[in-house]
Structure 1
Amino acid sequence: MQAKEIADRTSALMPGVVEDLERLVAIPSIAFPGYPSEPVEQMGSTTLQMFRDVGFTNARLMEVPSGYPPIYAEIEGPPGSPVVVLYAHYDVQPAPPEQGWTSDPWTATRKDDGRIYGRGAADDISGLVTHLGTLRVFDGKPPCTVKLILEGMEETESNLEAFVEAHPELFACDLFVICDMGNLRVGEPALTTALRGDVACIVTVRTLEHPLHSGVFGGPAPDAMMALARLLSTLHDDAGNVTVKGVTETVWEGADLSEDDLRSSADVLDGVALTGSGPVGARLWARPSVNAIGVDMTNIATSSNVLIPEARAKISMRIVPGSEPSEELDALVAHLESHAPWGAKVEVQRTKEAPPFLCKTDGPAYAAAREAMSVAFGKPVGEAGCGGSIPLLRTLQTAAPGAEFVLWGPEDVAAARIHASDESVDPSEIEKLIVTQALLLQRLADGAGGDTV
């Protein structure tokens, strides 16, 4: 099938693709503990039937020891044809009212800018419908062998890594296509080549045996919350660069985001400066970042005039591609243990070591993907990083050590606002990604070859 035919077929399919997206956005499939299980189960069964309808007739919910099941399926291609695994996930983030949504997060809403708003519309329902559209282009009969894996707990404690480790034979392939990413801007194609890792710890600071009256003892008696604040302040210099000795930095040579793009997509308040120095791309994908993502101490509603004897903070540090999580966490722990003010007692509990990921970019499948994307978008393809960590990719790499990886998707960084209020997707990105994926499958089956839409 030639590129023009693929593009025309995709264009004709788009109304149905959008209907699928609207149907799935309406299901609050939040897999986090404490949320009802019925919507996640409904999303699993609905998604399962959708993929059966497009050709994955043997699609099934796989048994896992705990949590929501992944969906697995295969379509056998011609003998000797390449084997491609398509990945996405069917769970979504919560959408609490305090996030400040301007439309119902569980109703797909088309606004004046042409984007479709709703929780999961981008992350990762757009990936699901991209795979659905790709199979429809071929009437459910792709030109090579295609496997499908849809995760049900990507946004929380994933159970897929253990499943892959237990069933590596299911994931034998030539190429993994991870459709859970996005271009930096709409219409500007980019392959994601680097993912940051994530290490975390809980630091506890103690200064007193028990609470003390702040009027009687305030001044000379050290307050644990103030000690914790001073300790956390040592993690950055005045510009906001990380000051932890021994953490890894690299050089970013791919596509970049402008400061205006970042300010807009992050909704940084007027007058508030961005942190760090140097190009935004380097700050995002070539240097570590450190954040306190939770603090435990007396809350305001129950506070009184006392000095706090103990305070805790959960620290998350994103680490650069190519680094080793254990070594980066060692450096963070050493910093926290050695920078306590006033001799405060510090204990650090390690809680997470998620590895970063680097794509191999010199293989034939990656080259075919770059060519397919360039044809679909009508522009040269850049390379971008991603701040999110996906430990699953390292597990897949171990299960299929000879396979290549392609990371892309319709979740454009500048406007999609994944995990935040008013999450949205541009349907033109979905359309172009369907064309891209269909072209990729065709080129892999044909042994590559160039044409234009």
Structure 2
Amino acid sequence: MTLHDSSATTHGVELTNITAQLPTSELRQSVAANFAATVGELIDLVAIPGIAWEAFDEKQLERSAEAVAALIRSTGLDDVQILRVPNDDGGQGGPAVVARKAAAPGKPTVVLYAHHDVQPPGDNGLWDSEPFTAVERNGRLYGRGAADDKAGIMAHIASFRAMTEILGDAFGVGVTFFIEGEEEAGSPTFARFLETHRELLAGDVIIVADSANWQVGIPALTTSLRGLVDGTVEVRVTDHAVHSGMFGGPILDAPTLLARLIATFHDEHGSVAIQGLHQGGETVVDYPEDSFRADAGVLDGVQLAGQGSITSRLWTQPALSVIGMDIPSVDMSSNTLLSSARAKISLRVAPGQDPAAALAALEAHVVAHAPFGAQATFTAGEAGQPFATDTHAPAAQAALWALGESWGVAAVETGMGGSIPFIADLKETYPEAQILVTGVEDPDSRAHSANESLHLGDFEKAIVAQAMLLAAINEGALG
């Protein structure tokens, strides 16, 4: 793996000509000098259990937003607001912090996104220390939100501070902080928030700090996200349930026929066998099988499904799962031929796939493969767009350079098997903006799980990288 080629051009501008003029050493020194204070501020944020779920104290979520707003004000910004929009049930969405530094004439604006709400801690007994008391052990900071995503917030704030300290009035790029307060609850009012505050949040580049690096010591730019569609399959056999002894034999029960239908979703290799779904290309990043099996907890003897590289199966190929079934439990079962059975299907779609077309293909497959003439219906559920970064675009080129410069090794262009639905909302609202998905996590961060943690060495490098990216944009990297 070689360092990213910083000789690439951006709108005819040599990136090397730009980066050669940047105060990279000064930015690195500024981040290092303030890093202990930055970690201390992160520890204070972790102590606030701001959870955007109805079962938890809303006042803590407000405390979290206010703490973030205070941190942003401490950078010298005065235009800082805590904003909400109504949700569908008449209440209010989570509190988002929005702060702005206006762009100098002729300079672009960069939007810095992260979220301050966190996942519930789960079973405290699974934690080695209190979830909301951040503790450092062996170079990692443990605590709920230490990585996801309060470290993202602090990366934005600390890089902004470094730029302000080193460049002063020469830092002409406009900066908008957008720190959401309900991401872990599914961002239910995100689209409405963008619609309400469209002009306030507009920017030329949007940096979403809510992803992960390839591994400790190797940075990554997340360049693709699979989309998501889901729906419910129902199989009906009779107009009412009947006794299995009196009628069993000539009639196959609905759960059996549903199982036969589900079996048609994959071919003999375990690849998704639904016609009409987009298949992305091969990936250049290797994920060794032994590492994947260990990370996923695959049991000995279980074969991996699909064909192609593991990363292509994770990032650029569709993946279908059955995530729920409506049939009686074993404890509640009786000798009855069930007349109907349902299953919830979740389909991850590859970048480049139209979600509406994927739903249509899934429905056509269900109808065409109804076993034994059973009535099979498909009811479409949610649909989320996939995402792919144009890595030749100026912002992406500058980001890859900054990551490689900060870490001293080439940045990896990675995909993500999961979806970040609000990315599609950002792309739809701001189609001309360049969206960069970065992060501070690594495979050991265990976001959403017990003992969530942040690698502090890579956290410092992430701050430096973002400061360098802002400096490159300030110097004209966007063209």
TM (norm. structure 2) is 0.86
Q: How many residues align?
A: 447
> Are 2:170 and 1:128 aligned?
no
Cα distance in 2 for residues equivalent to 1:230 and 1:109: 50
2:413 corresponds to: 383
In the TM superposition, residue 400 of structure 1 has moved relative to its aligned partner by 3.1
Partner Cα distance (1:110, 1:213) in 2:
62
Aligned to 1:84: 110
1:118 corresponding residue in structure 2 = 143
Q: Distance in 2 between matches of 1:38 and 1:209?
A: 51
Q: Name which of structure 1's ranges 19-28 and 337-346 shifts more when overlaid on structure 2.
A: 19-28
* Cα deviation, residue 22, structure 1: 2.8
Report which stretch shifted further, 22-31 or 9-18. 22-31
Task: State how 1:255-274 maps to structure 2 within 5 Å.
Answer: 255-274=285-304
For 1:404, the equivalent position in structure 2 comes to 434
Shift of 1:433: 0.9
User: Which of structure 1's runs of 4+ aligned residues deviate more than 6 A?
Assistant: none
Q: Cα offset for 1:89? A: 1.3
Q: Is the 8 A contact 1:193 1:384 kept in 2?
A: yes
Identity %, equivalent residues: 40
User: Do residues 29 (structure 1) and 54 (structure 2) align?
Assistant: no
> CA offsets per residue over residues 289-321 of structure 1, 9 Å max, x none?
001122223234433443433322211111111
Contact 2:124 2:131 (8 Å CA) reproduced:
no
CA distance in 1, matches of 2:303, 2:466: 39
Look up the match of 2:283: 253
Shift of 1:368: 1.8
Select between 255-264 and 313-322 the one with higher mean Cα deviation.
Answer: 255-264
Listed as ranges, the matches of 1:26-425 within 5 Å are: 26-66=47-87, 67-97=93-123, 101=127, 103-112=129-138, 114-139=139-164, 142-158=171-187, 159-412=189-442, 414-425=443-454
Structure 1 range deviating more: 151-160 or 416-425? 416-425
- The answer to whether the Cα contact below 8 Å between 1:74 and 1:148 also exists between their aligned partners in 2 is yes
Q: 1:448: Cα distance to partner?
A: 5.0
Q: SS of the counterpart of 2:295?
A: helix
Q: How many angstroms does 1:440 deviate by? A: 1.1
Q: Structure 2: state its 5+ residue gaps.
A: 1-21, 88-92
User: Is 222-231 or 103-112 further displaced after alignment?
Assistant: 103-112
Residues 223 and 409 (structure 1 numbering): CA distance in 2 closer, same or farther, change over 3 Å?
same
Equivalent residue, structure 2, for 1:432: 461
Cα deviation for residue 34 of structure 1 reads: 4.2
**CA root-mean-square deviation:** 2.5
Sort the Cα spacing of 1:415 and 1:275 in 2 relative to 1 into closer, same or farther, 3 A.
farther
Structure 1 residues 45 and 3, CA gap change in structure 2 (3 angstroms):
same
Q: Distance in 1 between matches of 2:306 and 2:319?
A: 9
Counterpart AA for 2:67: T
SS of 1:31's partner is coil
Q: Which moved more, 1:98-107 or 1:120-129?
A: 98-107
Instruction: Report the 3-state secondary structure (helix = DSSP H, G, I; strand = E; otherwise coil) of the residue aligned with 1:379.
Output: coil
CA contact 2:275–2:361 (8 Å) conserved in 1: yes
Distance 1:232 1:431, change over 3 A: same
Deviates more, 1:27-36 or 1:182-191: 27-36
Q: Distance in 2 between matches of 1:367 and 1:58?
A: 31
